[in-house]
Structure 1
Amino acid sequence: MISQNTIQEILSRIDILDVVGEFVKLKKRGANYLGVCPFHNEKTPSFTVSPSKEIYKCFGCGKSGNTISFIMEHEKYSYVETLKWLANRYGIEVEETFASAEQREQYQTADSLFIINNFAEQYFSQTLMESEEGRAIGLSYFKERGFREAIIKKFRLGYAPADRSAFAREALAKQYNKELLLKTGLVIERNGTLLDNYRGRVIFPVHNHSGKVMGFGARILKTTEKAPKYINTPENEIYVKSKILYGSYFARTAIEKADECLLVEGYTDVVSLHQAGIENVVASGGTSLTVDQLRLIKKYTNNLTIIYDGDAAGIKAALRGLDLALEESLNVKLVLIPDKEDPDSYVNKVGAGAFTEFIKKNKKDFILFQLESSLNDIGDDPVKKSELVNKIAESISRINKAEDFTKQQDYIKESAAILQIDEAGLHALVNKYIRDKVTAMERKAAGNAQKEQQLPEAALSNYDDATFDLLFKDQLQEKELARILLEYGNRKWDENSLIAQHVFDEIDELELEDPEVNTLVASIKQLLRNHPEQLNDKYFIYNEDKKLSAFAVSLLNHPYEESERWAADFSPNTGYQRDLFKQSFEAFARVISKGNETDLNKYKLISEDRTNQKVESAIQYLKLKKIRRMLLQNQNDMSGTLSEHKFKELHFIHKSLKDMEREITNLLGTVILH
C-alpha cells in the first residue's frame, strides 16, 4: 500500500486543471473551465472543470469526479496506479507500506522485473533499427510483412541477435541480477552460463494497460522443426497469461470511442490492423478467452467482435471460452475471414475500408453462429441433435442477469425456430440449467444464510402525489445541508465554534432519511471530534471510500453559480420583497448621485460575506420540511376514530407544530396559509 504521507503529499500537489488539461482542451468560462467531454462523443462542449472545488462534471453524459477519479476513468487505472501516475508526474517519491515481509519482497521483485523488461525492450529495439544484423534480418522481415517504420516504433518491435549470449552479456554488464534475469525468461542457464533465450528472433513487447513492459513474444525467422514458432515470457509476478490482451495499451482509447473491441489471434494481426487505421483491436494470443481478459475488455466496452481465420481450426478457436463472455454480459459477435486468409493478410489484400465493411456485413451472433455451424455437422443424427439442444440451452442459461432478460428470451425464440423444436420446451431446459447452477452454488456455499426479513410496505395509498412528496421526500433539503457542511463546515460560525458544529447543534434531534447524507454527516462528525484541522471538502472529494467521494463530488456539482450581487435580502421572490428591492435600489441610486461615501458603504453588496446566512437558511428549510412532514402525519392520525383524550393530545401536537412552523417561516420570510 502507498503510505498516507505519500498520499497526502500527492493530494497537496495535484492541480485538476493541469491533469485534466493534458487530455482535454479547456477554455475559461466564468469561474470554471469548459471543454469537449473525453468520455462521450459531443460537438457542443459540456464538460466543466471547477478549479476551486477540484472537481469535474459533464452535463452531457453525467460523469463527474475529482482528479484521481478522472485518471482512473480515462486511463482505466486502479486507485494505486493512479496515485503512482500522479506521483511520477509531480516528482514525488512513493513510500510503500506492507502488511508482511513477503508482500514487500513481491512488490520489489515486480518492480525489478519491470525495470529489466524496460531495458530489454530498448536493447531489442535499438538492435533492430541500428545494428547491421538487425536491419538486414529483423527489419527486412517486418518490411516484408508490410510494416512501416512508424508502426514498428509505435509497438516498439525489436530483434534479438543470433549471438548466443549478446543480450546476457549486456545485461550482466549493467549489473542486473542473475536470478531476476532468469525469471523474466529473457535468458536461460546452461552449465552455469547465461544464454539468450530469444536469439535470432523478432521481438513483440507485451505492455500492460499503463504501458509498462510485462513480457515478450519472440517469433522465429528460420524454419526449424525442433524450435517452436513463438517463445513467450514464462509466468511470473508481472506476466500472467490469463490476464493479458496484446495491444490493449494502444487500443484502449479507440475501443472506448468505437464502443467495440475487435479480438484477433496473433501479434501481427494487431499490428497490421493498427497500421491500417483500425485501432480498436487486441489479440488473445491464440488461447481460450479467460474471465480476466473479458473483464479487461468490459472496462472499455460491452461489445466484443471476434475475428478469426475461416478454417475449421479458426472456428474452433473462436468458440472457445465464449460462454464466459455471455456470463459477463458482453454482446459477442463473430466474423470469419474468407479464402484461408487471416486478419493480417486480408487487410493488406483488400485495404482498410473494404476490411471494415466486411466486418460490418458479416458479423454473426455467437449463439446463433454456434448453432448454425453445428447443425451442418450433425445432419439427421437425433443423438447429436439432442446434444446440440442441450449445449445451446446451457449457453443461453449463462445469460442470467436481470438486465439481460430480454436478450435471453430472444435467443430462446430464435434458437427454437432454427432447431425446429418447441419454444416452451427449450425455455424449460434453459431454466433447468439455471436452477442446477443455483443449486450447485448454494451447496458450495458454507452454511445457510438467513433469509432477509422483508419489511411490510408502508400503506401509502391514502396519500396523493403532492402529499407523498412532502411526506416522504426530504432528500433535497438534506443534500443541501450536506453540501453546506462540505463547502463551509470548516469556517468560523462565531468566535467559539465552526459552522459544522453549529449545524450539528441545530439538527442533532432531526432524523435524516437519505442514507448517503447520513454516512457523510457521520464522517464529518467523527472528523470534527478527532481531526478538526482536516475538515474541508477536499478531504471528502479525495476520500479513500469511493462511494463517499462520489457523493461529495455529486453534491458540489451544479451547473449554475449564484451571482455575488444577488443578496438574499433583496431576492425578489414575493411582492413585498420586490417592493423592498425596488426601494433599496432607488435609495442606492440616490447615494451614488450624491457621492456620499459613508452612505454608500451601507449598500455594498458584492463584498458581503453571506455564508452564515446561507447556513442558517439551509438549517431552517430542513427543519420546516421535517415539521410539515410531522404535521401531515399528525393530521392523518387525527382522521381516524379517536378517544377524546387521544384527540386532545393530537390537537395539542398540531398546535405546537404550527407554532414552530410559523416561527421558522417568519425567519425565512415565507408566506404560509392557515
Structure 2
Amino acid sequence: MISRTTIDNVFETARVEEVIGDFVQLKKSGSNYKGLSPFTDERSPSFMVSPVKQIWKDFSSGKGGNVVSFLMEHEHFTYPEAIRFLAKKYGIEIEETEQTTEQKEEADSRESLYLVSDFAKEYFHNILLKTEEGKAIGLSYFKERGFTDDTIKKFELGYSPDSWDAFTTHAIKKGYKLEFLEKTGLSIVKEDTSTGSPTKMFDRFKGRVMFPIRSMSGRTLGFGGRILTSDKKAAKYLNSPESDIYHKSKVLYGIFHAKQSISKEDNCYLVEGYTDVIQFHQTGIHNVVSSSGTALTPEQIRLINRLTKNITVLFDGDAAGLRASLRGIDLILEQGMNVKICSFPEGEDPDSFSRKNSLEELTHYLQENSKDFITFKASLLAADAKNDPIKKSETIHDMVASIAKIPDAIKREVYLKECSHIMDISEQVLFNSIAQLLRKERKDRNVKEEKASEPFEVVSSEKMPAKKVDVQFQLEQKLIELLVLYGDMEEEFEEMVIESDERGGLDLTPEIYRSRVFEKIYLDLQEDEIEFTNPEFQKIYSEIIKRFVENPDSKSESFVNQLDPEIASGVTHILMEDERYTLHQWDRMQIYVKEKDKTIAQIVSETILSLRRFLVTKKIDELSETLKQDVEEDKEASLQEIVAYIGLKKLLSNKLNRVL
C-alpha cells in the first residue's frame, strides 16, 4: 500500500488547476478558473476550479471533488492509480507501507506481468513499422483494412514475426524472465518430462497481426492476434490466456480510448470485433467498445455502467447472428441499463459500413436506425411468427421474459404497455404473465413471495404522493455547510438562556458573546445531546470538529483531501455552491448577489433554533403516541411533560419569528 506520507505529499504538491488544465481549457474568472464541462456537451461554461480551495465543481453534471477525484472521474483511475499518476507528474517518490513477504511477492509478480506485456506491445509495434517482414505482411494488411498511420499508432497495432521463438528469444535477451513470459501467455514452454527443465520455447502469436488489449487506465493486459494465412487448423483469432492481470470476462476492447467519449455522449456503442472498434474511431465515433469475440458478461456490462446507463448494441445484417446475440440483451437489462439495438444492412458489419460512409452519414444512420430493444425484438420475432398463433404466443413469452429482467418497476410497466400495443394483446394478460415470472424468480431466490392480491405492483403517476420534505436532513445539511464554509470564522452570537419568569413560565434571556462558528455549533449540539441522523453528515461533522479542535485556525477545505472520494464530493458541492453565481456574471447586468458571510451569526443561530424546534415537535408527537398507551395513573405525568415541551416549542417559534 502507498504510505500516508506519500499521499499527503501528493496533495500538498499537486495543483488542481495545473492537473485539470492538462485535460480542460481553463480561463481565469476572478480568483477561480472556468471552462466547458468535460463530462457533458455544453456551450456555456459550468465547470469551476478553485485554486484557493484546491477543488473543482461541474455544475452541469453535479460532479466535484479534489485533484484525485477529478482523475478518478475523468480518467477512471482507481484511487492508487490516481496517486501514482500525480506522484509521477510531480516527481514524488512513492513510499510503500510495510508488506508481508507474500504480499511483496504477489505485487512484484503482478507488476512483472504488466512490464512484460508493455514490452511485448512495443516490440510488436516496432516489428510492424520498422522491419521488412512487418511492413510487407502486417502493415499491408492494416492498410488494406483502410487504417491510417495515425490510427495504427493510436491503437499501437503490431505484428508478431512468423518465427517459432523470435519474440521469446528477444525478450529473454532484454532481461525478461521466461516465468513471466509464460504466465502472460506470450510464450509457450514445453518441458522435458524426464528432467523437468524447459526444452522448447514457442511464441504463441507467431505470424499474426496484434491488437493490444488495455485496461480502463491504459495498462496492457493481453493481446488479440489474427492469423493472415489460410491455415484451416489454426484459429482465425487468438486471445491471450487468462492470467493474474487478464480476465477476458472483465475486459472490453477499446475502453481506454472510449471512456471519455462514453461519459460525454452518455451512450456506449457495443460491437463484436477489434476492427469494428478501430474503424468507428477512425470515422470519428469514439464511444465504442467490443467484447472481443467473447459472449457478453455481467462484469463487462458493469464496466460500461460506470460510464453510462445507455448501451446501443450494433449487429451486422446476418439474421441468424442477430437471434443468437439477443441473449446478451437480457444480461444488459438485468443490470438496469437502457438498451437500444441497431442492425446494418445485409452483408454489412460496423467495420465495412463505417469504411464506406462519412461521419455525418454514419451518425445519421445510427440515429435513424437505433430502436428500443422491445420494438426491435418484437419486429424480429414477429416476422417469424406471422399468422401462426403458437409461434406468436412463444414470441410474446420471449418478450415478457426479457421485460421481467428489468429491475425498475416503472420501466417494466412502460415496456409492457409497449409490448401490448405492438403484439395486440391486453395489458392485464401481460401483467399477470410477468407477475408469474417474478414470483417464480423470488421463489428460486428463497425470497418471500408477494401476496396473491398484489401480483404486480403498478404505480400510477396520477396517484403518486408528493415527496415528503425531510426537514431534519435539510437542517443537518445546513449545519455541515456552515461548518465547511465558515467554521473558522469568529462571530458575535446571541445566546438564548431559558429562565423561569415570576409566574413560573419559561422565557428566553439573550446574552451576547463572541465565538468561532465551529465552537458555537459544537457546544450547542453537545448541550442538547443532538447527533446527526445521517451517517455521512455525522462522519463529516466528526472530521471537521476533530480538525478544528486540533487547529482552530485551519481552513476547513483542507480536510477534503482526507475524506473518502464519495464524501469529499458532497463536501465539494457545498464549498463550490457559492461559485455558481460567478458563472452567470450577474454584476455585469447590475444584479448583485447578497454575500452569505454578512449574516453568518444570524444563519447559524436560526439553523440551530430550527433544529431544536423540529426535535421538540418530534418529541411532542412521540409523547402523544405514548400517552395513548399509558395507564390512567401515568397519564397526568405524561400530559405535564407534553405541556412543558409545547411551552418550549412556543418560545423557540417566537424567537425564530423575530430572527426571520
Q: TM-score range by the shorter chain?
A: 0.7 to 0.9
For 1:453, the equivalent position in structure 2 comes to none
Would you say the 8 A contact 1:48–1:57 is kept in 2?
Answer: yes
Distance 1:653 1:318, change over 3 A: closer
| Cα separation, 2, equivalents of 1:348 and 1:393 | 37
Q: CA deviation at 1:189?
A: 1.7
For 2:174, the equivalent position in structure 1 comes to 174
For 1:242, the equivalent position in structure 2 comes to 249
Q: Which moved more, 1:430-439 or 1:613-622?
A: 613-622
Question: Which of 524, 527, 533 does residue 509 from structure 1 map onto?
Answer: 527
Amino acid at match of 2:471: K
| Cα separation, 1, equivalents of 2:638 and 2:374 | 68
- Residue 409, structure 1, aligned to residue 413, structure 2: yes
Q: CA deviation at 1:292?
A: 1.3
For 2:120, the equivalent position in structure 1 comes to 120
| Cα separation, 2, equivalents of 1:68 and 1:75 | 10
For 2:631, the equivalent position in structure 1 comes to none
For 2:539, the equivalent position in structure 1 comes to 519
Q: CA deviation at 1:228?
A: 0.9
Q: CA deviation at 1:556?
A: 1.6
Amino acid at match of 2:315: Y
Would you say the 8 A contact 1:266–1:286 is kept in 2?
Answer: yes
Distance 1:211 1:618, change over 3 A: same
Question: Which of 587, 610, 613 does residue 625 from structure 1 map onto?
Answer: 610
Compute the RMSD of aligned alpha carbons: 3.9
- Residue 339, structure 1, aligned to residue 368, structure 2: no
For 1:593, the equivalent position in structure 2 comes to none
Q: CA deviation at 1:230?
A: 1.3
| Cα separation, 1, equivalents of 2:485 and 2:172 | 57
For 2:328, the equivalent position in structure 1 comes to 321
| Cα separation, 1, equivalents of 2:641 and 2:605 | 26
Q: Which moved more, 1:209-218 or 1:22-31?
A: 22-31
Q: CA deviation at 1:652?
A: 7.5
Equivalent residue runs for 1:348-387 within 5 Å:
348-378=355-385, 383-387=390-394
| Cα separation, 1, equivalents of 2:637 and 2:234 | 98
Amino acid at match of 2:415: Y
Distance 1:168 1:671, change over 3 A: same
Distance 1:441 1:133, change over 3 A: same
1:583-631, CA deviations, whole angstroms, 9 ceiling, x for partnerless residues? xxxxxxxxxxxxxxxxxxxxxxxxxxx99x9775555333443565588
- Residue 440, structure 1, aligned to residue 444, structure 2: yes
Would you say the 8 A contact 2:69–2:565 is kept in 1?
Answer: no
Identity of aligned residues (%): 38
| Cα separation, 2, equivalents of 1:245 and 1:633 | 53
Would you say the 8 A contact 2:40–2:265 is kept in 1?
Answer: no
Structure 2 SS opposite 1:557: helix
| Cα separation, 2, equivalents of 1:634 and 1:356 | 61
Q: Which has the larger radius of gyration?
A: 1
For 1:252, the equivalent position in structure 2 comes to 259
| Cα separation, 2, equivalents of 1:344 and 1:178 | 37
| Cα separation, 1, equivalents of 2:427 and 2:373 | 19
Q: CA deviation at 1:154?
A: 0.8
Amino acid at match of 1:174: K
Would you say the 8 A contact 2:301–2:335 is kept in 1?
Answer: yes
Distance 1:27 1:432, change over 3 A: same
| Cα separation, 2, equivalents of 1:175 and 1:633 | 72
Equivalent residue runs for 1:552-591 within 5 Å:
552-559=571-578
Would you say the 8 A contact 1:289–1:320 is kept in 2?
Answer: no
Would you say the 8 A contact 2:557–2:575 is kept in 1?
Answer: no
Distance 1:194 1:61, change over 3 A: same
For 2:66, the equivalent position in structure 1 comes to 66
Would you say the 8 A contact 2:53–2:558 is kept in 1?
Answer: no
| Cα separation, 1, equivalents of 2:308 and 2:551 | 43
Distance 1:140 1:5, change over 3 A: same
Distance 1:99 1:380, change over 3 A: farther
Structure 2 SS opposite 1:202: strand
Amino acid at match of 1:169: T
Structure 2 SS opposite 1:542: helix
Distance 1:316 1:98, change over 3 A: farther
Q: CA deviation at 1:633?
A: 8.3
1:253-279, CA deviations, whole angstroms, 9 ceiling, x for partnerless residues? 222232221111111111112111122
Q: CA deviation at 1:349?
A: 2.7
Q: CA deviation at 1:203?
A: 0.8
Equivalent residue runs for 1:386-401 within 5 Å:
386-401=393-408
Would you say the 8 A contact 2:384–2:391 is kept in 1?
Answer: no
Considering Cα pairs closer than 8 Å and 6+ residues apart, tell me whether 1 or 2 has the greater RCO: 2
Would you say the 8 A contact 1:479–1:555 is kept in 2?
Answer: no
Distance 1:384 1:130, change over 3 A: same
Structure 2 SS opposite 1:305: strand
Would you say the 8 A contact 1:478–1:512 is kept in 2?
Answer: no
Distance 1:644 1:190, change over 3 A: closer
Q: Which moved more, 1:616-625 or 1:269-278?
A: 616-625
- Residue 473, structure 1, aligned to residue 493, structure 2: no
| Cα separation, 1, equivalents of 2:638 and 2:296 | 70
Distance 1:672 1:276, change over 3 A: closer
Structure 1 SS opposite 2:249: helix
For 2:585, the equivalent position in structure 1 comes to none
Amino acid at match of 2:184: T
* TM-score for both structures, normalised by structure 1: 0.78
Distance 1:144 1:655, change over 3 A: closer
Q: Which moved more, 1:19-28 or 1:213-222?
A: 19-28
Distance 1:655 1:224, change over 3 A: closer
Would you say the 8 A contact 2:613–2:652 is kept in 1?
Answer: no
Distance 1:483 1:34, change over 3 A: same
For 1:90, the equivalent position in structure 2 comes to 90
For 1:596, the equivalent position in structure 2 comes to none
Structure 2 SS opposite 1:43: coil
For 2:435, the equivalent position in structure 1 comes to 431
For 2:426, the equivalent position in structure 1 comes to 422
Q: Which moved more, 1:13-22 or 1:329-338?
A: 329-338
- How many residue pairs were aligned? 592
Q: CA deviation at 1:519?
A: 3.3
Would you say the 8 A contact 2:270–2:289 is kept in 1?
Answer: yes
| Cα separation, 1, equivalents of 2:311 and 2:148 | 28
Distance 1:130 1:317, change over 3 A: farther
Amino acid at match of 1:621: E
For 2:480, the equivalent position in structure 1 comes to 482
Q: CA deviation at 1:430?
A: 0.8
Identify unmatched segments of 5+ residues in structure 2. Answer: 192-198, 450-467, 493-514, 583-595, 628-634
Structure 2 SS opposite 1:42: coil
Amino acid at match of 1:330: M
Amino acid at match of 1:241: K
Structure 2 SS opposite 1:189: strand
Would you say the 8 A contact 1:480–1:618 is kept in 2?
Answer: no
Q: CA deviation at 1:171?
A: 0.3
* TM-score for both structures, normalised by structure 2: 0.79
| Cα separation, 1, equivalents of 2:264 and 2:646 | 59
Identify unmatched segments of 5+ residues in structure 1. Answer: 446-467, 564-609
Distance 1:379 1:5, change over 3 A: same
Distance 1:629 1:340, change over 3 A: closer
Amino acid at match of 1:550: S
| Cα separation, 2, equivalents of 1:644 and 1:270 | 78
1:171-217, CA deviations, whole angstroms, 9 ceiling, x for partnerless residues? 00111111110111111124523222212211111111111111111
For 2:503, the equivalent position in structure 1 comes to none
Q: CA deviation at 1:309?
A: 1.9
Amino acid at match of 1:427: F
Would you say the 8 A contact 2:472–2:614 is kept in 1?
Answer: no
| Cα separation, 1, equivalents of 2:236 and 2:295 | 19
Q: CA deviation at 1:130?
A: 0.9
Distance 1:475 1:359, change over 3 A: closer
| Cα separation, 1, equivalents of 2:433 and 2:45 | 51
Structure 2 SS opposite 1:110: helix
Would you say the 8 A contact 1:55–1:64 is kept in 2?
Answer: yes
Q: CA deviation at 1:487?
A: 4.8
Equivalent residue runs for 1:175-254 within 5 Å:
175-190=175-190, 192-254=199-261
For 1:36, the equivalent position in structure 2 comes to 36
